Amino acid sequence: MRHRRVILFSLFGVVIAVTVGLLLLWALGYSALEGYAYLLEYSLLSRTALFSTLSRAALLVLLGLSASTAFASGALNLGQSGQFLIGAMAATVFGLFVNLPAFLQIPLSLAVAALAGMLYASIAAFFRRRFNMNELIVTLMLNFVADYFTQFLIAGPLFEEGRQSPASPAINASGWFPVYKGFDTGILVALLAFILIYLLWNRSKTGYEWTIMGQNSIFSRIGGCPNEENFTKAMLVSGALAALAGALVIMGGIQHRFMPGIKANYADDGIMIAIVANNKVVATAIYAIMFAIMRTGAMGMELETGVPLEFVHVLTAITVLFVVASREYSQYLIDRFSAFLRARRISSRIEDYAGRDSSGSMD
């Protein structure tokens, strides 16, 4: 019952957001419906479009799960973008200096990236546990450090001679994800990660303890859960997921090299996705696909109707606001209404009592 209500109000929010998007496009003088039609056409209605939407969705699923795993267990990891970059860099370095057969190279490269992401996330986890430092700010600041550090690497030690702009050389081909008729097999990594994270949350002791800790950390501590350890675990899993997304960018696609700007808006989108999905695993995947459709389709929309693709950034932010507000405001209204009903029941009972006992024993 409660789930149905949450889903209903989320859908309601999406409908509002789509409407607001239409109105906004219309107000700006674009043909709104046509724009939406192109958005869908360029994200779903051809094989290339569909596969590129899926590739993007794979990244967003990983980053969304990274954020939702952290948030739902009460760890405010906002370091997805840094962990993503470190993961991408680890995959790049591994791919440049190691050359094994593909069946070893690919899994090892992913493992190295995940490990690097964990390591990077563990800095904030360590500071939190050892010095009680707020992980929110530490992870955010480490994003900038990772950004500058990777920029330094591709402009200095890893710079490929002869290029105009900073970028690393391409990684060894054994580390590239095989592509079957346009389908990037890296997508399967995200699928696998999704299944594992789903099981972790719903079928494991750790997942159960995370849920309790996220809802009430004092309760979980008194109940005997090792909160400190669980916090670290959540940070590490979150970091590994973000880093895997980074590895996917390097090992999949066409370029296979670390270039400036590869992080795009993936990490921010991941955080938004986790927020609209209320940190639920399945909902995260669904919203990740929705965001991927919007992002991929936006390019087509720009091409055909001239709407700048940044429009989609605005639209996703508005969607998030409306979904969250409609979810929480409806909860608030329901709470108020039930409080009102309770108050009326109590007051009528008092009146009954006063009516029955009219002999004046009160006072």
Partner 1 sequence: MGLWIEILRSSILAAIPIALASLGGAFTYYTDVFNVALEGMMLVGAFLAVIGSYFTGSWAMGLLVGALGGLVIGIIFALFAVYMGADHFVTGMALNMFAVGGTTFTLRRLFGIKGALVSSRIVGIPSWNIPLLSKIPVLREVISGHPFAVYIALLLIALSHYLLFRTKWGLRLRAVGEDAQVLDSLGVSSRRIKTLSILGSGILCGFGGAFLSLGYVALFAEGMTSGRGWIALSVINVSRGRPWGLLLVSLVFGFFEGLGMSLQGMGLAPQFPQMIPYIITIVAVYVYSRRERRVKAA
- Interacting residues with partner 1 (CB under 8 A): 28, 76, 127, 131-134, 137-138, 140-145, 148-149, 151-152, 155-156, 265, 268, 271-272, 275, 308, 310-318, 320-321, 324-325, 328-329, 331-332
* 280 vs 263: CA distance, rounded Å: 24
Shortest Cβ 37–partner 1 spacing (Å): 20
Shortest Cβ 309–partner 1 spacing (Å): 8
Label residue 181 left, alpha or beta by phi (over 0 means left) and psi (-120 to 50 means alpha).
left
127-to-124, 239, 250 alpha-carbon distances in Å? 5, 15, 30
Select 80 or 105, whichever has its Cβ closest to partner 1.
80
* 54 vs 71: CA distance, rounded Å: 25
Select 144 or 337, whichever has its Cβ closest to partner 1.
144
Q: How many CA atoms lie within 13 A of 268 on its CB side?
A: 9
What is the distance in angstroms between the CA of the first residue and the CA of the last residue of the chain?
46
Three-state secondary structure call for residue 154: helix
H or E segment to which residue 94 belongs? helix 80-97
- Quick one: CA dihedral 48, 192, 81, 269, positive or negative? positive
Three-state secondary structure call for residue 179: strand
Q: How many residues are there in the chain?
A: 363
- CB neighbour class for 236 (10 Å; exposed up to 12, middle 13-18, buried from 19): buried
Select 12 or 149, whichever has its Cβ closest to partner 1.
149
Shortest Cβ 352–partner 1 spacing (Å): 29
Shortest Cβ 252–partner 1 spacing (Å): 25
Shortest Cβ 320–partner 1 spacing (Å): 4
Shortest Cβ 64–partner 1 spacing (Å): 14
Select 225 or 315, whichever has its Cβ closest to partner 1.
315
Select 185 or 331, whichever has its Cβ closest to partner 1.
331
Select 317 or 346, whichever has its Cβ closest to partner 1.
317
Phi, psi of 349 (to 5 degrees): -65, -40
* 222 vs 215: CA distance, rounded Å: 13
Select 65 or 271, whichever has its Cβ closest to partner 1.
271
* 81 vs 176: CA distance, rounded Å: 22
Select 184 or 302, whichever has its Cβ closest to partner 1.
302
Select 78 or 213, whichever has its Cβ closest to partner 1.
78
Shortest Cβ 102–partner 1 spacing (Å): 33
* 150 vs 92: CA distance, rounded Å: 11
* 120 vs 241: CA distance, rounded Å: 12
Shortest Cβ 83–partner 1 spacing (Å): 15
Q: Where are the beta strands (DSSP E) in the chain?
A: 179-180, 183-184
Residue identified by tokens 């594992």 is 196
Shortest Cβ 110–partner 1 spacing (Å): 27
Q: Which token pair is 298?
A: 């936006």
